[in-house]
Structure formats: C-alpha cells, structure tokens
Amino acid sequence: MAQFRLQGSRVLAVDLTGDSVKAKNGAMVAYEGEMTFKKRTGGGEGLRGMVTRRLTGEQMAVMEVKGHGTCYFADRASEINLVSLRGEKLYVESSNLLCTDSALRTGTSFTGLRGSAQGNGLFTTTVEGTGQAALVSAGTAVVLRVTPQTPLQVDPGAYIAHTGGLKQHFQAGVNFRALIGESGGESFQIRFEGDGLVYVQPSERNTIGGEV
C-alpha cells in the first residue's frame, strides 16, 4: 500500500512500490524513480459516477499516479493534512482533496443548501474504505470532535471535511446581524450534530496577512 509522509507542512511524499494513488491533476512537483501519470475522469464509480459528477458539478480533475519510487505533491503552498481511514466515510470538498490511496473509493454526495452557500455546489465528494488521504487547507487545519452533547457550528468558508455519523444543517446567524453587511452574506453556519470529526481551516479572511 502506498505510504503517505509529510515533508514539511506543505509537501506530501508518497512512496510507491508498483501501486498507485489518485491525485489532483497537476499537483506533482517532483519525483524519484519511475512514474506514470494518467488522467482519470474523476475518481471511480465507472460511467454512472462520471455522469453524476458531470450533472452535479462536483467534478474533479484527477490523475492516477503509478510507479516505483517517491512522488512529491503540493498545491499552491497550502498546508497538508493526512487522514487515515479505516472503513469510515470522509466527506470533503473536491478542491480540498489532494491525494488518495487508490484502495479508497471516491464518490459524490448531496449536501443540500450548505454547498450553495459555500459556492461549491450542492454536492460534495466522499472518500470511503481503508487507506490514507491527504487534504489541503489554507493554514493548518484543526480536527474538532462532535459528540451528541457537544454540537459544533462551523463557518462554511472554514469547513474542509468531516467523518463519522454526523447530521449537518444550515443555519442563519441571526445573532450576527452586525456582520451581514461586511461579510457579503456569509453570516451563516453549518451545524453538525451526532458523533464524528470535523476538519476546520483558519479561514483566510480571518487571518492577518494571509497564511502566516
């Protein structure tokens, strides 16, 4: 199975021994050994998955990287987070997905209103199975636990991904009227309830000087 390592916080190193990974198109920055890069229509599920992605707009340009050696991936100097999946399902915005083990199945899932507020469409990408995945974020992401006793509200622009049995719904931030004018209509939150983990990035608009 492909080995995922972090080389610093912004470069992902993947050790391959004849196996393959799926990665965001064009994300390779360097490699040692023998590698081949093949474009895929967008992450599995055959023809049906392809049609779904076309319809939903949750289309990701994915390439299959196969070979012997080490391949290095990076995406616009974004921070990289490793996620190990053991049978569970990860929900992630396709723009935040850098690389997945080819043993993982990818698909699309309906997100309801949340997606349209994010400008990411009504659908999100799902990653399921056993293996490693790498997510990119603007600034180092934090992993927040949600339990039935402690629900979590997240800014749609700061949300990256989640795992576990979580119900999400969209709520308007009625208590933040003062912000409405300034935030360009983004005074909404996603409320997560249930049991699981949510990955949150330090949203760029809240960080002085970008990605310090």
Partner 1 sequence: MPFNVLTSRMVEAQVMPGQTLFSQRGAMLAYRGDVRFTPSITGGQGGVRGMIGRRVANEATPLMTVEGQGTVMFGHGGHHVHVIDLVGDTLYVESDRLLAFDGSLRQGTMFLGSQGGVMGMVRGQVTGQGLFTTTLEGQGSAAVMAHGGVLELPIGPGRPVHVDPQAYVAHRGDVRNKLSTAIGWREMVGRGSGEAFQLELSGTGMVYVQASEEKL
Amino acid identity of residue 152, one-letter, is: L
Mask: binding to partner 1, 34-63, rule CB under 8 A, as x and -?
Answer: -xxxxx---------------------x-x
Minimum distance, C-beta of residue 11 to partner 1, in the bound complex (Å): 5
Instruction: State both tokens at 48.
Output: 């049906």
Minimum distance, C-beta of residue 123 to partner 1, in the bound complex (Å): 23
Count CA atoms within 13 Å of residue 101 on its CB side.
21
Distances in Å between the Cα of 18 and the Cα atoms of 84, 100, 173 are 21, 16, 50
Range list of β-strands (E), 74-179: 79-92, 97-101, 105-110, 123-137, 142-146, 152-154, 159-172
Pick from 46, 119, 181, 210 the residue near partner 1 by CB under 8 A.
210
Pick from 17, 32, 84, 205 the residue near partner 1 by CB under 8 A.
32
Considering beta carbons, is residue 20 or 187 the nearer one to partner 1? 20
Minimum distance, C-beta of residue 143 to partner 1, in the bound complex (Å): 22
Q: Which of residues 2-31 bind partner 1 (CB under 8 A)?
A: 7-11, 25-31
Q: Are 97 and 45 in contact (CB under 8 A)?
A: no
Considering beta carbons, is residue 10 or 191 the nearer one to partner 1? 10
Minimum distance, C-beta of residue 27 to partner 1, in the bound complex (Å): 8
Amino acid identity of residue 20, one-letter, is: S
**CA-based angle 119:49:13, to the nearest 5?**
75
Q: Which of residues 141-160 bind partner 1 (CB under 8 A)?
A: none
Q: Which residues bind partner 1 (CB under 8 A)?
A: 7-11, 25-32, 35-39, 61, 63, 72, 74-77, 209-210
